[in-house]
Every structure is written in structure tokens, then in C-alpha cells.
A and B are shown apart, each in its own frame.
Chain A
Amino acid sequence: MGNNNTAVVSAAFEQLKAAAQQKWEQLHSKPLILVGAATCGRAAGALSLLEEVKTELQKLQLDATVLEVGCMGHCYAEPVMVIYNEGFPTICYGYVKEGVGARIVRDYLTEGDPGIEFALAAIEPNDFFPTFQDFPRGVYENKIVMEQCGFIDPRDIDHYLATGGYSALVKALETTPEEIIETVKASGLRGRGGAGFPTGVKWETCRNSAGDQKYVICNADEGDPGAFMDRTILESNPHLLIEGLAIAARAAGAEKGYVYIRAEYPLAVERVALAVQTAKEKGLLGKSILGSDFNFDIELFQGSGAFVCGEETALIASMEGQPGIPRHRPPFPAISGLWGKPTVINNVKSLSYVPYIINRGAEWFRSNGTEKSPGTAIFALAGKVVNTGLAEVPMSTTLRELIFDVGSGIANGKNFKAVQIGGPSGGCLPEEALDTPIDFDSLTKAGAMMGSGGMVVLDENDCMVEIARFFLDFTQKESCGKCTFCRLGTKHMLDILERITKGRGKPEDIDMLMELASKVREGSLCNLGKTAPNPVLSTLKYFREEYEAHINEGRCPSLMCKDLIAYYILPDKCERSCDACVGSCPVEAIYDNEDRIKVINQEKCVKCDSCMVACPPQYKAVIKVSPPYKVAEMEQERGKK
């Protein structure tokens, strides 16, 4: 590109940026209230909070702006609200339940009482109140991709522009595609979709492939149950992804891009579609972007709910209007992809790092994480951990730090048992493996997988056989059916696991599972089949005794497998005049015996857990027993007394 063009581009961009910054400053000239309303926030009632705050402002006739933003990752504290008010430190509030939002706004904006009893932390350092950095979580967290999530309005491109957005695209327009590729290669960025393939190499292969028509695709088909970081980025900062995709297109030599996004994420679809449209209006997408010779357009494609479509060749098949069935590689999509043309397919997170790498340089990126896995990793902490949510930490952070410091440990005072990483392709790691540093290679070595970064923490009440069965049930249903071993082998393994969880397992089942696992791994074409046995293998490796208890004794040590447990009310603990359990039972299985102690009719009981929840904590009279025949023994024992 000629030098005179560079001037055109930066002039056009400076104009956009100046307008955006002016708008941004105006926004901060009066009190500003941000409400986290991504899907997770909405599930916790963010929309009614939004309504409540707006009504309160109207009632008090206060001049303040209320904005609906994305998620900053503190999902455990949803709904979350941030208030900027001149002269006070900016404070983030958590657990803003009904009535609290209106109260905070009223007290803060009319009487100057910031209501710190509801505050989670301050956003920037100040003399009054700790910031997120002062908590254990903040020590480990290093936000790159998630920096802006939850602080800008995802539906307003000006917010993104005002905070430095699209400047990397301008930089990319001013350099050659080869230089972009060099920078990304030097940064060592590896694909965050799970496989960890170097992003720069992928782009280079596509650039060097013959053909005038090339494509870039963003893989936003986040299908791993338990992972939601892509959704958060899409809902909270869609322009980051668009900028990354545009830079990828410039590097790879493509003029057409797609965002392949799950139809199960309606809010994300809506926000990305709007972002693409506004970027086009501003001239940041479309023909001759910012007056340069670079043309690039993005279209949305909605995935129809097939897990296997996260595999790139299956994704391409589904975009071509076929069932999503993977094909042989090579040729790799970077050589022959969509409609047979060279195609780059990158994950949402990989692309989201790109603008930062271009702006801050490869060296800066390398200063985070490890030699072979530079940068940060985003984990979706869920399950039995206290602080669930998204955490962006440098690679090489250990699992223990992540679970016990960032996640604040196990909820309800229970004991840690295992952590499941990498979704259906990953594995369960026990206590001993907690000091494993997180990066692509050491997790694979430990028997799990980086995967997309879903992390489900399991406590003593979670049955490892059941979790293996759950994942296999998932992969078995999602197998596309092309390879015999994946189609039939997983089904057979599932049958065995189901038998074991129902107490009908046979001693030879464990060996059979091992054998099938290795056959499925060898006989499958794509990673869905190759990794499907991982949950079974890792649980067998670390928790074999649980399998044996199920098979040999018909007992579920974690009291989870429904067919192997029964509910029982301890007569010594039952408070006679309390009827909490009776009312909670949906099938009227609980009755009073002659001394008004509650008894469960085992024939009627559907094991719904309601009575256990309903029983007041000071009595804790309802227990689970395994194997179920023990109840009869206990009842007999009592009869004798």
C-alpha cells in the first residue's frame, strides 16, 4: 500500500476516534450506572434490576445514564452493577437483589452514601475501599481479552473506539500482510479452541495457498457443556472479535469472513449482528476500509446445534449446506476449505488476542505465560466452587491457585474431589494433580486437555462414574456416525457405564471399558472420537475404587447414582412437630408414624431430593444411604428397639 494512502487511513480513523472520545467524555460527565446484562446476568435478574434503576432515577428526577453492558466475569455475584460518580471512587456492586439497586442509587446519588455494604470492590485504586486487585483473585488475574468486558456498551461502537478500539486494524492497514503474520508468529499465539495450533502459521499457509478467493471464519460454535467464555466475549465486546477477524483477513488475503455462531446464544447473535452492521456504517468493514485498498465483509452463520461442528471440516460442511460430518485432513482448510478455497478458521479467543498483539507487540504477549504457551487462558469456573465465573489468568498458573484462590475453594464446606477440565474431550484430575501448571502440554500430559477452558469443580458428593457416563452420553449422542468405532464403540461404552451406575455392573466391565477406549481412540478420524474416551480413562486412572464399589458392592460412595441410593429419615433427629418434608414431597411419600416421626414410603419415593433440602439445617434428619437395601435394615433395627 502506498504511503499517501496511509495518511488517508489515519486521517479517517482519527476523525472517527475523536467523535467517539467526545461522546465517551460526555457520558462520564454525569453519574453513569452500568448493569451487567449478559445472558448469565439476565438469568439472575439483571433486566428487572435495569428497570428498577431506571424507575428510581425517574422518580427522583436524577440526571444519570444507565447502560446495559456485558459480563466482567464475576458471575457468582450476579446481578452486578457499577456506578461512576464524580468525586467518588468507582464501585462495583454485587448480589444486587430486588430493591437493593434502587436503594443504592437513591442513597448514593441523593445523599452521597455509596452504600459500601453492597460493594464488591472498587474499580480503580483509592484510599477508601479495596479494589479487585486486593483480593486473592486479583493477584492471579491478568485481563487481556476480557479487559473491556462489562465496562463498555457492546451495542455502541463508539465505546469501543473511544477505548482504543480498531487502532490495531489501522496499524495492520499500514503494514504489509507479511509483517502482520511475522508479528503473530513471533508472539507464539496458539489457537484457543483447544488444539493449540500456532495461529500465525495457519494464516501464512492460507496466504501462500493458490487462489484468488479466500475466506476467514471465526469459530464461535462453543458447544462444550461447561464453557461460556466465548459467549461472554461475543455478548460483552463483539467489536474486539470483528477487529481481530479483519486483521486475520488482511493477513491471510481474504475479503470475505464469516462468524459461525451457535443458535443457542440468541443474545450473542443479536449483538454480533449489530456490531457488524455498525462497523459497516462507520466504514470499518466493507469496500476500501477507511479509504485503503482493503475490502472485507463479514456475514453471520448460525450453527444449528451439533457439537461436532466445532471441528473445522465439519463446520465447513455445515456451511456448505450438508450435515456436519468431518472429512480427512490433509488437505487442511488453510489450503482447501470452504467451497474448496483456502480458509482460515480461528476461535473467538484466538482472534480476540490479535488486536492486542498488533498494538502492543509480540514481546509484550510473550511476557505472559510460558515459553511454549504464551499469553493468558480464560477459564469458566463452574460447579461446586464458591466464586463461579470467568477468570483470565496467565498460562502456568496452577490448578490449585485457580480453584482455591481465584475461585475461593469449595462451596458449602465440602471437600474437593476432582476438577473436570476441557469438557467432553477432557478429563477429571484429582487432588494430587492440582499443582499442574495450566498450559496446553502439561494438561494433556496429566490426562486432561486444555479444550476450550471449561472447568467444572467436583466435590465429595459427585460420583465419578456418573460424570464419566454423563460425558460419554454427550459424545455418543453428538457422534456424527461416520467412523464405526466412534459410532458403535461409544454406544457400547455408554451401555456398560449405565449398567454400572444402575448397580448391574460385572467385574470384567472395567477391562472391557479400557479396551474399547483404546479402540475408539485409534479408530476415529476427528478429535471428537479420539478424545471421547478421556473422561472414562481419567476417572478409571484416578478413581478406580469408585467403579469397583459400584460393581462389587452395588454402592455409590458419593451417594449420587439414583438407583443405588435411598432416602431415609433419622428417627432420633426428626423433630416431630415439623412438617417441612411432608409439604415438600411431590408424591406424598412421607407420612407420620405412631409417634409422629416422619417416615418415607420407599415404594412411592421418586428420590427428588426435596425433603433433604426442606429439612431445616438444625435437624438434618434426612440422609441418603447406599446401597438402598440398608434402609430396610435400619428400619428393622429400629423396630427391635
Chain B
Amino acid sequence: MRLTEEEKQAAVEVTQAILGRLDQGDKGRIIPVLQQVQSKLGYVPQIAMEEVAAHFGVPPVDIYGIITFYNQFRLTPPGKNQVKICMGTACHMRGAHIIQEAWERRLNIKVGETTEDREYSLERVACVGCCTMAPVVVINEEVHGKITPTRVDGLLFSHQLDKRKMKEGDANNG
């Protein structure tokens, strides 16, 4: 994925601010640093990995190895709204795959992808620990339990409604 110069610049600045004056020998800080980069940018671009590698004096490929080993890290920017489908046992037995297909159909993307307008991205997550509310979907940080295909439509609709309201609010204010 190609980044614009501004995006690169921003990524470098964010990473350097996080690295700050961290002890270069303290390799135990590598993963926490990457986690902070991801929470600021939403993903970890190549240029940020190179910055981190240079700071700790390890080859960039090692950082890439860490990024791709752990499920938490993303290599591409997420959508504005992240839809995460829980794939725990309880959710699976209560039809998480049906829910996954419903989202894929509605958003017209596959799991791991972001919609054209970068509005939604779809992911699978390991158990979020709400097994009693299965099947579960996490939208941004909000957990929704007992999802059915029709509720997927409902959630999307209410989301779009909120957005329209917000836009109208903006228009009114402006």
C-alpha cells in the first residue's frame, strides 16, 4: 500500500514521539512501543517499523516478524468503523459464521478488508469473553450481543442514521 508523503511524515513523527528517550537496550519495550504506534495510527506502516528497528538496533525484518506473528497488529489502515466478529467457541456454535456472511454481504467486502470509502472494516477476533451473549460483534469498542442477520441490518442502519444526524447537526451549526 502506497502512503502519501504526509502520511509517512506523520507516521515517523508519531513513532519518534513514542520512542522518545527509551533505553535502546531494553528490548522488552519493543512490543509495547508497537502497540502504542498502532493505537495512535490504527496500523503499523513499514516506515514506523524501520524507525523502531533503528532505535533498538535490530534488523527491520525482526520487527516485521513480530508484527506478523501477533494477531493484534495491522499492516493496512483500518476503516473508520471497525467491525469485529467474535469467533469464540460459544459464538461459533451459535452461528458466528452466519453473522460473518451477513456482514460480508451487507458491506460487500470479505473479512480482513476495508470498504472502498474506508468507512467500515471487517475483522474476526478470538474470544472477547462475552460467551454468554453469543454471537457477539464488537463495533469500535462497543460490544453487541445476541446478533442475528436482521440485527446486522439494524446495526448498520442505526449507524448510518447517526451519521446523517451528525451531518445535519453540523450543517445546522454551520
Which label, helix, strand, loop or mixed, suits the secondary structure of the B interface? helix
CA A43 – CA B30 in complex, angstroms? 33
Beta-carbon contact of A610 and B150 below 8 Å: yes
Complex contacts, A306 vs chain B, CB 8 Å: 69-71
The verdict on A586 contacting chain B, using a C-beta distance below 8 Å, is: yes
Contact partner, B27, options A320, A380, A480, Cβ 8 Å = A320
Q: B131 to A322, Cβ gap below 8 A?
A: no
Q: Give residues 459-505 of A contacting B (CB, 8 Å).
A: 462, 467, 470-471, 474, 480
Residues of B within 8 A of A470 (CB): 89, 92
Residues of A within 8 A of B66 (CB): 321-323
A43 touches B144 (CB 8 A): yes
**Does B65 interact with chain A (Cβ within 8 Å)?**
yes
A231 lies within 8 A of chain B by Cβ:
yes
CB within 8 Å for A263 and B102 given contacts A225-B127, A382-B89, A608-B149: no
Q: Distance in Å from the Cβ of A617 to the closest Cβ of chain B?
A: 16
B90, B98, B125: the one within 8 Å of A609 (CB): B98
Q: 1/0 contact trace for A372-391 toward B, CB 8 Å?
A: 00000000101110001100
Which chain B residue lies CB-closest to A235?
A: B129
Task: Please give the distance in Å from A215's CB to the nearest CB on chain B.
Answer: 11
Cβ–Cβ contact A43 & B89, under 8 A: no
The interface residues of chain B lying within 8 Å CB-to-CB of A382 are 89-90, 131-132, 134
For residue B2, CB closer than 8 A to chain A, the reply is no
B126 and A264 within 8 A (CB)? yes
Does A318 lie at the interface of the complex (its beta carbon under 8 Å from any beta carbon of B)?
yes
For chain B residues 129-174, which have a beta carbon within 8 Å of chain A?
129-134, 136, 141, 143-145, 148-150, 153
Per-residue CB proximity of A128-166 to B under 8 Å, as 1/0?
Answer: 000000000000000000000000000000000000000
Set of chain A residues within 8 Å of B144, measured between Cβ atoms: 43
User: A622: CB under 8 A from chain B?
Assistant: no
CA distance A456 to B29 in the complex (A): 37
Which B residues touch A40, using CB under 8 A?
129-130, 132-133
Which among A222, A380, A389 has the highest number of chain B CB atoms within 10 Å? A380
Q: What 0/1 pattern do residues 16 to 54 of B give for CB contact below 8 A with A?
A: 000000000001111110110000000000000000000
Encoded as 1 (CB less than 8 Å from any A CB) or 0, chain B from 81 to 103 comes to 00000011110111101100110
Smallest CB–CB gap between A403 and chain B, Å? 14
Bound form: Cα–Cα A147–B35 in Å: 34
Question: What's the interface size class on A, roughly?
Answer: 35 or more
Asked if residues A264 and B30 are in contact (CB atoms below 8 Å), the reply is: no
User: Is A223 at the interface (CB under 8 A from chain B)?
Assistant: yes
Residue of A nearest to B84 (CB): A264
**Residue-by-residue, is A600-617 near B (CB-CB < 8 Å gives 1, otherwise 0)?**
000000111110011000
Separation of A420 and B28 alpha carbons in the complex (Å): 37
B72 within 8 A of A: yes
Give chain B residues whose Cβ lies under 8 Å from the Cβ of A43.
130, 133, 136, 143-145
On whether the beta carbons of A39 and B128 are closer than 8 Å, the reply is yes
Contact A228:B102 (CB < 8 A) given known A302-B35, A306-B69, A321-B27? no
A628 at the interface (CB under 8 A from B): no
Query: In the complex, A47 Cα to B129 Cα: how many Å?
Result: 18
B93: which of A320, A324, A462, A606 is its contact (CB, 8 Å)? A462
Q: Compute how far the CA of A266 lies from the CA of B128 in the bound complex, rounded to whole angstroms.
A: 10
- On chain B, the residues within 8 Å of A211 by CB distance are none
- Taking A222-B129, A383-B134 as known contacts, 11 extra A-B pairs with beta carbons closer than 8 A to each other, sorted by chain A number, are A39-B129, A75-B133, A226-B88, A266-B141, A301-B32, A318-B31, A321-B27, A339-B28, A388-B132, A480-B69, A610-B150
Can you list 27 A-B pairs with a CB-CB distance of less than 8 A?
A39-B129, A40-B129, A40-B130, A42-B143, A43-B130, A44-B145, A75-B133, A226-B89, A226-B90, A227-B127, A263-B72, A264-B125, A264-B128, A265-B128, A304-B34, A307-B126, A318-B31, A320-B27, A382-B132, A383-B93, A384-B93, A462-B93, A470-B92, A471-B89, A584-B150, A586-B153, A610-B148
Interface residues of chain A, those whose CB is within 8 Å of chain B, are 39-40, 42-44, 75-76, 78, 222-228, 231, 263-266, 301-302, 304-307, 318-324, 339, 380, 382-384, 388-389, 420, 423, 454, 456, 458, 462, 467, 470-471, 474, 480, 562, 584, 586-587, 606-610, 613-614
7 tightest A-B CB contacts, nearest first: A321-B30, A304-B70, A305-B71, A228-B129, A225-B88, A382-B131, A75-B132
Query: Which B residues lie at the A interface, using CB under 8 A?
Result: 27-32, 34-35, 56, 62, 65-66, 69-73, 87-90, 92-95, 97-98, 101-102, 105-106, 125-134, 136, 141, 143-145, 148-150, 153
